[in-house]
Structure 1
């Protein structure tokens, strides 16, 4: 059985390394680490599918993830390739809706996972840290939306 302190420290280091949570204090990372888990995915393995219930979100620590959406003919089309540091699956965790796309490991990947239940627990146990995590995710989502808006605008010009 792996030492839980070593695992917690590994998760803390991964959270610090991902670049999403610049607003957190060093002690916040240690506290937040207890709510995350690590998973390893093999290339080609499905992380989640479009339409699934959103029970967890991920932060990509290493490897690449293919994001796919079904077209009108129900064929999967790759819409993005995610790289290190990117959070994904957070929309469904935050809004309770079903998955808007499928995510497949494009290469072998290591992921940090935060379950919806763990986020709820963090909100109860450590609300200030949970608020910083949620705010950082909201900022990342907002940036992606602004980029998409900019891309749409440039396509219309």
Structure 2
């Protein structure tokens, strides 16, 4: 399957890469296609891949303790997913399902390591831009949870949230 410059241009993460750096990236990644309804990434699974959506729409779902499934987000062309487990090995926190037919670029952690060796600049750029995306998502989540706790919680829950935030920002051991 051929990947075009337009495919990469849809992902902001690739816009600043030179054509040579884009070629280095494309030599390492795999193009994958998923039919609508297919699970791409399963909650609890432990893959070390990052996916870049170049066509289609996915939904992110999480199962609650009582077995209900809730949609967390919709990801469109230009989005990425799998980044948390890619950079910090741990089980996936949610599932990603193809809502429409989807075409993605998939990079494994091993392929990223090859990119670091052969072309440090594109690897650095991808990691930096992914950190920006993660920071924006964390900021939105923090704002949302803070509003939720302030609106709907009594003092014990507010205190619990304050303690959790203190741990999150000062101590990396939970």
Q: Which of 108, 121, 125 is equivalent to 2:114? A: 121
2:38 corresponds in structure 1 to: 45
State how far apart, in whole Å, the 2-side matches of 1:64 and 1:13 are: 17
Deviation by residue 1:50-96 (Cα, 9 ceiling, x = unmatched): 11112211111111111111101123221111111111011101101
Gaps of 5+ in 2: 152-174
Instruction: Give the greater-gyration-radius structure (CA).
Output: 2
* Partner SS, residue 20 of structure 1: helix
* 1:17 equivalenced with 2:20 (yes/no): no
Q: TM-score, normalised by structure 1?
A: 0.86
- Greater RCO between the two (CA within 8 Å, min separation 6)? 1
Match of 2:52 in 1: 59
**What secondary structure sits across from 2:14 in the alignment?**
coil
Contact 1:62 1:109 in 2 (8 A): yes
| TM superposition score normalised by structure 2 | 0.78
**Conserved? CA contact 1:58–1:113, under 8 Å:** yes
Aligned positions of 1:1-157 closer than 5 A:
7=2, 10=3, 12-155=5-148, 156=150
Alignment gaps of 5+ in structure 1: none
